[in-house]
Amino acid sequence: MLPAIRAAIAEELNNMGVAQLEAARLLDMTPSAISQYLTGKRGYRIVFEGEVKESINRLAQDLKAGRVDDLASRICGICAQIREENQPGDACEREA
């Protein structure tokens, strides 16, 4: 899931006008990795929607604005959000 999230963040940064070199610096990656994410050569092509997409967009905005202290923690939060959304049924159904 991590490559898909990184690809989505790179794409959001790109859509915000952030250069690939700057996106690489913000995400602590190489510029070639960012290029591969943006061209679909690296990372899964998963289309995120709803709250997950909003979280990815908010993270990209915060990265651009310099408001991210712990990138790994923010990405872990998005992963947890994805896992929660993909659980069949709600908690009450699972306990029954």
Per residue in 2-39, pLDDT (tens digit) is 999 999 999 999 999 999 999 999 999 999 999 999 99
Q: What is the pTM of this model?
A: 0.85
Band (pLDDT 50/70/90 cuts) for residue 88 is low
Band (pLDDT 50/70/90 cuts) for residue 47 is confident
Q: Would you list the DSSP string of 35-67?
A: HHHHHTSSS------HHHHHHHHHHHHHHHHT-
91 pLDDT exceeds 90?
A: no
Mean local confidence (pLDDT), 45-71: 95
Nearest Cα to 27, choosing from 41, 13, 17? 13
User: What's the mean pLDDT when you consider all of the chain?
Assistant: 89
